Protein backbone atom coordinates (compact mmCIF):
# COMPACT_ATOMS: atom_id res chain seq x y z
CA UNK A 1 0.00 0.00 0.00
CA UNK A 2 2.72 2.48 0.94
CA UNK A 3 4.60 4.11 -1.94
CA UNK A 4 7.43 5.60 0.04
CA UNK A 5 10.97 4.46 -0.51
CA UNK A 6 14.18 4.83 1.43
CA UNK A 7 17.71 4.07 0.30
CA UNK A 8 20.01 2.62 1.35
CA UNK A 9 18.43 0.04 3.69
CA UNK A 10 21.72 -0.49 5.50
CA UNK A 11 24.82 1.71 5.61
CA UNK A 12 28.12 1.19 7.44
CA UNK A 13 30.55 4.08 7.18
CA UNK A 14 33.58 5.54 8.91
CA UNK A 15 33.63 8.59 11.15
CA UNK A 16 33.84 11.92 9.35
CA UNK A 17 32.15 10.82 6.14
CA UNK A 18 29.37 12.84 4.53
CA UNK A 19 26.22 10.84 3.84
CA UNK A 20 22.79 11.44 2.33
CA UNK A 21 19.82 9.24 3.15
CA UNK A 22 17.26 9.25 0.37
CA UNK A 23 13.48 9.31 0.75
CA UNK A 24 10.93 9.50 -2.04
CA UNK A 25 7.16 9.11 -2.14
CA UNK A 26 4.84 8.83 -5.13
CA UNK A 27 1.61 9.67 -3.32
CA UNK A 28 1.81 13.45 -3.81
CA UNK A 29 1.86 14.04 -0.05
CA UNK A 30 2.79 17.54 1.09
CA UNK A 31 3.77 16.54 4.63
CA UNK A 32 6.98 14.55 5.08
CA UNK A 33 8.91 13.61 8.21
CA UNK A 34 12.20 12.11 9.37
CA UNK A 35 12.24 10.10 12.60
CA UNK A 36 15.17 8.55 14.45
CA UNK A 37 14.60 5.39 16.44
CA UNK A 38 16.81 3.30 18.71
CA UNK A 39 15.80 -0.11 20.13
CA UNK A 40 13.39 0.21 23.06
CA UNK A 41 12.90 3.90 22.49
CA UNK A 42 10.19 6.04 20.94
CA UNK A 43 10.40 7.43 17.45
CA UNK A 44 11.95 10.89 17.75
CA UNK A 45 10.99 13.51 15.18
CA UNK A 46 14.14 15.19 13.85
CA UNK A 47 12.88 17.07 10.75
CA UNK A 48 9.62 17.74 8.95
CA UNK A 49 8.33 19.55 5.91
CA UNK A 50 4.83 20.73 5.00
CA UNK A 51 5.66 21.43 1.37
CA UNK A 52 8.27 22.46 -1.17
CA UNK A 53 10.92 24.83 0.25
CA UNK A 54 9.52 24.36 3.76
CA UNK A 55 11.61 22.53 6.37
CA UNK A 56 11.55 22.61 10.16
CA UNK A 57 13.55 21.00 12.94
CA UNK A 58 11.76 18.46 15.06
CA UNK A 59 11.66 17.84 18.77
CA UNK A 60 14.98 15.99 18.94
CA UNK A 61 18.08 18.02 18.23
CA UNK A 62 19.94 16.60 15.28
CA UNK A 63 23.13 17.54 13.45
CA UNK A 64 21.56 16.48 10.17
CA UNK A 65 20.00 18.77 7.57
CA UNK A 66 17.18 18.24 5.08
CA UNK A 67 15.93 19.80 1.86
CA UNK A 68 12.60 19.79 0.02
CA UNK A 69 13.10 20.97 -3.53
CA UNK A 70 10.47 18.63 -4.98
CA UNK A 71 7.26 17.39 -3.38
CA UNK A 72 8.24 13.75 -3.76
CA UNK A 73 11.81 13.97 -2.45
CA UNK A 74 13.02 14.65 1.11
CA UNK A 75 16.70 13.73 1.56
CA UNK A 76 18.55 13.90 4.88
CA UNK A 77 22.26 14.75 5.00
CA UNK A 78 24.92 14.29 7.66
CA UNK A 79 27.97 16.42 6.85
CA UNK A 80 30.32 14.53 9.16
CA UNK A 81 29.08 11.24 10.57
CA UNK A 82 29.98 10.19 14.14
CA UNK A 83 29.37 6.97 16.09
CA UNK A 84 26.62 8.78 18.06
CA UNK A 85 24.67 9.00 14.77
CA UNK A 86 24.30 5.21 14.70
CA UNK A 87 20.56 4.60 14.64
CA UNK A 88 17.60 3.70 12.45
CA UNK A 89 16.29 6.59 10.35
CA UNK A 90 12.66 6.45 9.26
CA UNK A 91 11.02 8.63 6.63
CA UNK A 92 7.25 9.12 6.58
CA UNK A 93 4.59 11.09 4.74
CA UNK A 94 0.92 11.94 5.03
CA UNK A 95 -1.64 13.85 3.01
CA UNK A 96 -3.51 15.61 5.78
CA UNK A 97 -3.41 16.20 9.51
CA UNK A 98 -5.24 13.55 11.52
CA UNK A 99 -4.46 10.93 8.95
CA UNK A 100 -2.08 8.02 9.24
CA UNK A 101 1.59 8.30 8.44
CA UNK A 102 3.03 6.06 5.76
CA UNK A 103 6.57 4.93 6.60
CA UNK A 104 9.43 3.80 4.42
CA UNK A 105 11.44 0.70 5.27
CA UNK A 106 14.05 2.73 7.10
CA UNK A 107 17.82 3.12 6.85
CA UNK A 108 19.91 1.37 9.49
CA UNK A 109 23.03 3.51 9.86
CA UNK A 110 26.18 2.34 11.62
CA UNK A 111 29.08 4.76 12.02
CA UNK A 112 32.36 3.15 13.03
Partner 1 sequence: DQQVKQNSPSLSVQEGRISILNCDYTNSMFDYFLWYKKYPAEGPTFLISISSIKDKNEDGRFTVFLNKSAKHLSLHIVPSQPGDSAVYFCAASVGDDKIIFGKGTRLHILP
- Please report, as ranges, the residues that interact with partner 1 according to CB under 8 A: 2, 6, 9-10, 33, 35, 40-43, 45, 48, 58-59, 88, 90-92, 97-98, 100-106, 108
Smallest distance, partner 1 to C-beta of residue 104, A:
5
Task: Give whole-number Cα distances, 21 to 99, 100, 105, in Å.
Answer: 25, 23, 12
State how far the Cα of 23 lies from the Cα of 73, in Å rounded to an integer: 6
Pick 52 or 79: Cβ nearer partner 1:
52
Smallest distance, partner 1 to C-beta of residue 11, A:
12
Q: What is the dihedral of CA 77, 79, 82, 85, to 10 degrees?
A: -20
Smallest distance, partner 1 to C-beta of residue 37, A:
8
Pick 10 or 14: Cβ nearer partner 1:
10
Pick 60 or 80: Cβ nearer partner 1:
60
Amino acid sequence: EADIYQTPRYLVIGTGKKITLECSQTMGHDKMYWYQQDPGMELHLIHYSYGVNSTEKGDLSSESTVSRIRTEHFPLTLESARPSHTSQYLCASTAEANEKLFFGSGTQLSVL
